[in-house]
Amino acid sequence: MSIEVTGIEEIQTKLSRLAAVTETMRPIMAEIGNKIINEIDDTFDAEGKPKWVQLSRTTLRLGYTNMGKSTSKKTHLKNGKVSRGFERYIADRKILQKSGRLRSSIVSDVSDNEVVVGTNLKYAAIHQFGGMAGRGKKVRIPARPFMPIDANGNLEPGLRAAILSYVDGKLEEAVK
């Protein structure tokens, strides 16, 4: 999956000005990559910005069953309440972080003129944008965007402002 980020013309213009007065852009691009990865980490920590859709009861029951627990008798008491063990499992469960594989797969690749941040995991796109998955594509997965872009490829406004501020600071340093 490849997404071109749009709406960053002002950042690109300032980076071009900075490149004209700086010996190498690689450290600056690396810092921009770090800012993006930190934003992604913050999104995972907060379980979405805005909050991601909660895991379905079916997903939670399947996860609990895969731990060797029975969901038929142990998760429900006779009065219809959920067992304490299942309640603890639900409370401890972080969305998109069961194995940590997706989060740890996010990397940046930096050169003197670009920063590429992403993952090579095939299932990342379904979590970012949502859609149908599973056997026969019968299961609807809600979008849980972890990359700091919207559906149109626009950079998240707070991150955009942070990058602009950083580049402005580097421009000021360079012209002194």
Residue-wise pLDDT tens digits, 84-143: 777 776 667 788 888 899 999 999 999 999 999 999 999 999 999 999 998 899 989 999
Higher confidence at residue 71 or residue 144? Answer: 144
In a 13 Å sphere around the CA of 45, the CA atoms on its Cβ side amount to 6
What are the Cα distances from residue 170, in Å, to 33, 102, 165? 15, 32, 9
Mean pLDDT of all residues in 35-64 = 87
Q: In terms of domains, do 27 and 79 share one?
A: no
Please indicate, yes or no, whether residues 105 and 151 belong to a single structural domain of this protein: yes
In a domain, 116, yes or no: yes
Burial class (CB within 10 angstroms; exposed 0-12, middle 13-18, buried 19+) of 30: middle
Count of domains forming the chain:
2
State the residue range of the domain holding 23.
9-53+100-175
**How much is the average pLDDT of 154-171?**
95
> Which residue(s) pair with 109 in the sheet?
116
Do 115 and 66 lie in one domain? The reply is: no
CB 104 within 8 A of CB 44: no
- CA 85 to chain centroid, in Å, comes to 29
Write the CB contacts of 35 (distance below 8 Å, at least 6 apart in sequence): 159, 162, 163, 166
